Amino acid sequence: MAANGKWAQGIQPRHFHWIIKDQLAICERPGGFGQNHRKVRRQEEIIWIREQGFDLVISVSSAPNNLHSYDELGVHWRHWPFPATEDLPRYLEQSYTELRRLLTDRKRLILHQDELSERLIGLLAGYLVWNAMVPEPPKAIALIEHITGRQIGADGRQLVGEAALLFDPWDEAAIAATVQRALGDEARLAEMRRRSLAQAAQLSWDKAAAQTAAVYAALAEGRA
């Protein structure tokens, strides 16, 4: 039976917030999180997303839970699960580049995780810094906390910090702004030094020689 009246427009997902008015929003996963998840509610909230004219739903949840429901209700979606920590810079760069492309094309987007986590909030705060919409990480964090009414903890702040170090290699102004942000953040510089030394410790001429010799040996044996 077709829904009538206000129910035909669906129900707004929980913890819905505009990050960029009429363009980019976040919410809890439609239907609820964990034991509170309800199929009927999921359908009603996806209907609301569709009726509000969103062009694309992006899930950053680790598992593709119930994403088939978007297909059933005619809503386009993508799955961008958060990666392991070591892959975070590449993930952010790829995600932010695609977000900017979609928003430039006037697409209306909504992102969600199972719950409105600090990582999801931090991801969007990082986007504001990366895209030069907010000049500094602390200001982006304060803005997102004000919008969502939630505080960003260590995990979310890590995302914002990583985002602040990314830049478009063809954009001289972006490179200069990134260097300035890094030089003005002693804690961040200390963390960068720590990571650099840890990465350097994994490298040596002996290891490189052994790996090269292994490749030639495999070629000689016809295994490569």
> How confident is the prediction along the chain (224 residues), in pLDDT tens digits per residue?
445 555 678 999 999 999 999 999 999 999 988 778 899 999 999 999 999 999 999 999 999 988 999 999 999 999 999 998 878 889 999 999 999 999 999 999 999 999 999 999 999 999 999 998 998 889 999 999 999 999 999 999 989 988 887 755 556 665 666 666 666 667 666 665 665 566 566 667 777 787 788 877 777 777 65
Torsional sign, CA 208, 210, 213, 217: negative
Tell me the C-alpha distance between 112 and 13, whole Å.
Answer: 10
pLDDT of residue 13: 96
| Domain layout of the chain by residue ranges | 5-220
pTM: 0.75
pLDDT of residue 185: 67
pLDDT of residue 202: 67
pLDDT of residue 174: 58
* Domain 5-220 CATH assignment equals 3.90.190.10: yes
Strands 24-28 and 109-113, by their bridges, are parallel
DSSP structure class, residue 132: T
How far are the Cα atoms of 22, 204, 216, 219 from residue 211, in angstroms, in the given order? 52, 11, 9, 13
DSSP structure class, residue 133: S
